């Protein structure tokens, strides 16, 4: 009941802009903790082992605070609300999900592409990807949007829900804390190569099952794509992101990934679904429809899981 209610709240409301303006978002607290630790434990003059140890300590501090607060909230809600505790727990879990937010961020990219406004499409996709977007052509923008949609289906929807099912309120917020740390400091480039190592590796571990489940749901929703999923998932640098991206490429019969640039540096990434067609505005629209079907399947799977529990 808690999981379905949280999914419903997220699908209907997302995280309202007015609420964000008033109170921000819980991940902002994670960012402040990480930033405070990074300033003290990742000094340029520290040795690599010391910086790696600092990153491990930062992750432990972040998880200790997050789990303690979430566990306390869980106990308090159950004590105060009794049989209605599921309502409070759903409200507490809701901000950790991103079904609606992900759709709302990708839709403007698709609409701009369909309108033939490449400048607006580049600007919109620049809000959701880290790659350089100023020189992307139509296919490049479409690929960027589809890849972000596929990868974030795991990070923003499947994985948080999975850890809510496994660990309740502490589970979902512990996952969000680690995922936020990975986004902020889990980079191979300096100054985070050593300091962010623990966050990146732990995020990989927590996404191990959700990533594969995401690929399964995308192929199931797309009625195909299994061959590309199995063949190309390992062509991504991440041990997890390749699963939903390969599933999306296979289901839509397009190619994703390939050569891109980050901060002016060219990266010759391999293609995923290399024999597929070039990404188009129509493919980006189809990806959104497939995303909705995959979310619907996730709802059904969650309902079945709740019944077994």
User: What is the predicted pLDDT for the residue at 7?
Assistant: 95
pLDDT at 263 over 70: no
One-character DSSP codes across 3-19: HHHHHHHHHHH-S-HHH
Query: Could you give the CA distance from residue 81 to residue 89 in angstroms, rounded to a whole number?
Result: 10
**pLDDT tens track for 53-79:** 999 999 999 999 999 999 999 999 999
Extract the runs of DSSP E, i.e. beta strands, from 100-244.
Answer: none
Q: Give 307's pLDDT tier (boundaries 50, 70, 90).
A: very low
Q: Give 115's pLDDT tier (boundaries 50, 70, 90).
A: very high
Peptide bond into 191 cis (omega under 30): yes
User: What is the predicted pLDDT for the residue at 83?
Assistant: 86
- Show the tokens assigned to 152: 């974030």
Q: Mean pLDDT across the stretch 196-201? A: 94
User: What is the predicted pLDDT for the residue at 31?
Assistant: 92
User: What is the predicted pLDDT for the residue at 16?
Assistant: 76
Residue 294 · residue 221 · CB < 8 Å: yes
- Calculate the alpha carbon distances from 54 to 58, 177, 272, 287 in Å: 6, 17, 36, 40
What are the residue ranges spanned by the domains of the chain? 2-308
Query: Could you give the CA distance from residue 211 to residue 147 in angstroms, rounded to a whole number?
Result: 13
Angle between helices 2-13 and 85-93 (to 10 degrees): 50
**pLDDT tens track for 275-306:** 889 999 999 999 999 999 999 999 999 998 86
Q: Give 258's pLDDT tier (boundaries 50, 70, 90).
A: confident
Query: Could you give the CA distance from residue 19 to residue 270 in angstroms, rounded to a whole number?
Result: 41
pLDDT at 309 over 60: no
- Show the tokens assigned to 120: 């607006």
Q: Give 187's pLDDT tier (boundaries 50, 70, 90).
A: confident
pLDDT at 142 over 60: yes
| Total H helices, total E strands in the chain | 14, 4
Q: φ and ψ at 216, to 5 degrees?
A: -60, -45
- Show the tokens assigned to 122: 């580049």
Query: Could you give the CA distance from residue 76 to residue 70 in angstroms, rounded to a whole number?
Result: 10
- Show the tokens assigned to 48: 């690599």
pLDDT at 270 over 70: yes
Sign of CA dihedral 153, 155, 159, 161: negative
pLDDT at 244 over 70: yes
More confident residue, 295 or 81: 295
Own/partner pairs for 186-190, CB < 8 Å, 24+ apart? none
Residue 230 · residue 243 · CB < 8 Å: no
Residue 302 · residue 7 · CB < 8 Å: yes
Query: Could you give the CA distance from residue 52 to residue 58 in angstroms, rounded to a whole number?
Result: 10
Q: Mean pLDDT across the stretch 39-60? A: 91
Query: Could you give the CA distance from residue 285 to residue 291 in angstroms, rounded to a whole number?
Result: 10
Q: Give 14's pLDDT tier (boundaries 50, 70, 90).
A: confident
Q: How many residues does the chain have?
A: 309
Q: Mean pLDDT across the stretch 20-28? A: 77
User: What is the predicted pLDDT for the residue at 18?
Assistant: 76
């Amino acid at each position: 009941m808690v999981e379905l209610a949280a999914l419903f709240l997220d699908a209907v409301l997302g995280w309202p802009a007015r609420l964000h303006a008033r109170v921000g978002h819980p991940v902002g607290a994670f960012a402040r903790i990480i930033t405070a630790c990074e300033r003290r434990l990742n000094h340029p003059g520290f040795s690599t082992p010391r910086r790696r140890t600092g990153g491990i300590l930062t992750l432990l501090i972040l998880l200790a605070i997050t789990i303690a607060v979430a566990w306390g909230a869980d106990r308090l809600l159950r004590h105060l609300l009794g049989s209605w505790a599921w309502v409070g727990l759903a409200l507490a879990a809701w901000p950790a999900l991103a079904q609606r937010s992900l759709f709302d961020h990708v839709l403007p990219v698709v609409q701009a592409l369909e309108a033939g406004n490449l400048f607006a499409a580049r600007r919109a996709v620049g809000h959701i990807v880290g790659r350089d977007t100023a020189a992307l052509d139509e296919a490049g923008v479409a690929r960027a949007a589809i890849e972000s949609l596929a990868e974030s289906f795991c990070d923003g929807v499947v994985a948080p829900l999975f850890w809510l099912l496994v660990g309740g309120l502490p589970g979902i917020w512990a996952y969000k804390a680690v995922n936020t740390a990975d986004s902020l400091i889990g980079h191979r480039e300096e100054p985070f190569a050593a300091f962010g190592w623990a966050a990146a590796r732990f995020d990989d571990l927590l996404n191990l099952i959700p990533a594969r489940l995401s690929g399964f749901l995308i192929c199931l929703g797309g009625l195909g794509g299994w061959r590309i999923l199995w063949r190309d998932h390992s062509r991504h640098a991440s041990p997890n992101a390749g699963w939903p991206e390969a599933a999306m490429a296979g289901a839509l019969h397009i190619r994703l990934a390939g050569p891109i640039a980050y901060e002016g540096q060219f990266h010759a990434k391999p293609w995923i679904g290399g024999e597929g067609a070039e990404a188009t505005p129509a493919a980006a629209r189809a990806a959104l429809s497939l995303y909705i079907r995959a979310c619907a399947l996730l709802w059904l799977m969650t309902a079945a899981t709740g019944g077994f529990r």
